[in-house]
């Protein structure tokens, strides 16, 4: 649709594509270039900061499994693993939940109910991370330890994901609190996207005899690229989330298949150790963690986009 003005321009006398439109285009492009400049500056600053560590460890930093600041050994693998696993858990839980809420608010609930609920959900996004963390320690973790983890272990304990002592603290809880934190973000965006889908589409589907759910499916399929954007927004928040996750994930740089075991994320280790880090190499290793997080976010974002796009396409075909 964005090349539309060009097509129209061809049909029109040349007078319209005037200097004002040039200014408009240059202005917007300039703003877009600004974000690139900001990120490139950030990359340069971060790259400079991590140069010492990159030179010292090279690629072995990525695959090292030991993180011992006292002895000066730094490896990022357990943190990368923890970041990916916990955010995947978060997105897997939050995405269907958020779409469900958004569909309910837009397609089903009466306006008098949808408004206050929509408001409430947006409020969730405003609670400071540290408050989520404290709530998780005092309410969520004990609850999971007593009521959720033992039954999970009893029924699915043969899977490697649910082994170990359930303490309520660990990767599973970390992913769950992240899911709660990103649900309002995904919901708010999906809701707006669904609201923007023209009513005519719904009416057409209903007129053809589709049930309400089938209509919703068509609406969802049409909004799939927008939903993908929303999920990526949530994913980004999950990957970069620090305080709440740090308080509940157990902070152990150790790769374990079990979700009940403590884990560690890149953002957590930066938040945990940056302010107290002394020594150039140590600081540099932490800054390199930031660089890796950047790259991990790029990759995860790209994968999520591809995945959601393909799911969207499939739904569209079915519909």
Tell me which residues in 246-305 interact with another protein (CB under 8 A). Answer: 246-247, 250-253, 262, 264, 266-268, 270-279, 290, 293-294, 296-298, 300-302
Q: How many CB atoms lie within 10 A of CB 154?
A: 9
Min CB(223)–another protein separation in Å: 8
Min CB(125)–another protein separation in Å: 4
What CA–CA distance (Å, rounded) separates 156 from 177?
Answer: 22
Q: Are 236 and 139 in contact (CB under 8 A)?
A: no
Which C-beta is closer to another protein: that of 161 or that of 229?
Answer: 229
**CA dist 103 → 65, 190, 216 (Å):** 43, 8, 8
Under rule CB under 8 A, residue 212 binds another protein: yes
Q: Which position has the token pair 């039954």? A: 151
Q: Are 93 and 171 in contact (CB under 8 A)?
A: no
Min CB(20)–another protein separation in Å: 5
Q: Provide the 3-class DSSP secondary structure of residue 3.
A: coil
Under rule CB under 8 A, residue 196 binds another protein: yes
Q: Kindly identify the residues of this chain, within the stretch 128-147, that bind another protein according to CB under 8 A.
A: 128-135, 137-139, 141-142, 145
- CA torsion angle 259 92 232 123 (round to 10): -90
Q: How many CB atoms lie within 10 A of CB 84?
A: 17
Q: Which part of the chain contacts another protein (CB under 8 A), choosing from 35-43, 51-59, 155-163, 310-318?
A: 35-43
Strands, E assignment, 121-188: none
Under rule CB under 8 A, residue 220 binds another protein: no
Q: Are 191 and 161 in contact (CB under 8 A)?
A: no
Which C-beta is closer to another protein: that of 38 or that of 257?
Answer: 38
Under rule CB under 8 A, residue 195 binds another protein: yes
Q: Are 244 and 253 in contact (CB under 8 A)?
A: no
The residue from 187, 224, 256, 258 that contacts another protein (CB under 8 A) is: 187
Q: Which part of the chain contacts another protein (CB under 8 A), choosing from 50-58, 147-155, 227-235, 311-319?
A: 227-235
Min CB(4)–another protein separation in Å: 7
Under rule CB under 8 A, residue 161 binds another protein: no
């Amino acid at each position: 649709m964005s090349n539309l003005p060009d097509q129209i321009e061809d049909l029109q006398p040349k007078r319209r594509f005037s200097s004002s439109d040039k200014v408009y285009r240059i202005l917007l492009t300039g703003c877009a270039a600004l974000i690139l400049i900001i990120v490139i500056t950030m990359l340069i600053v971060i790259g400079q900061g991590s140069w010492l560590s990159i030179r010292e460890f090279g690629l072995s930093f990525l695959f090292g499994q030991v993180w011992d600041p006292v002895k000066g050994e730094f490896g990022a693998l357990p943190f990368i693993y923890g970041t990916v696993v916990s955010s995947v858990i978060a997105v897997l839980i939050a995405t269907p939940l958020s779409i469900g809420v958004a569909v309910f608010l837009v397609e089903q609930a009466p306006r008098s109910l949808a408004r206050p609920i929509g408001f409430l959900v947006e409020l969730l996004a405003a609670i400071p991370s540290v408050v989520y963390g404290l709530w998780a320690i005092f309410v969520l973790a004990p609850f999971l330890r007593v009521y959720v983890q033992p039954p999970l272990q009893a029924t699915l304990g043969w899977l490697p994901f649910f082994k170990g002592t359930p303490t309520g603290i660990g990767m599973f809880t970390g992913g769950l609190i992240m899911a709660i934190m990103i649900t309002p973000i995904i919901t708010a965006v999906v809701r707006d996207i669904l609201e923007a889908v023209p009513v005519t589409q719904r009416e057409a589907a209903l007129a053809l005899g589709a049930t309400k759910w089938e209509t919703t499916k068509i609406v969802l399929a049409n909004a799939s690229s927008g939903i993908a954007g929303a999920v990526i927004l949530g994913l980004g928040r999950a990957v970069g989330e620090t305080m709440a996750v740090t308080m509940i994930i157990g902070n152990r740089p150790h790769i374990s298949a079990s979700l009940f075991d403590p884990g560690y994320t890149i953002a957590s280790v930066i938040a945990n150790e940056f302010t107290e880090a002394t020594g150039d190499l140590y600081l540099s290793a932490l800054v390199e963690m930031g660089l890796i997080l950047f790259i991990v976010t790029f990759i995860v974002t790209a994968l999520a986009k591809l995945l959601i796009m393909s799911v969207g396409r499939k739904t569209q075909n079915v519909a």
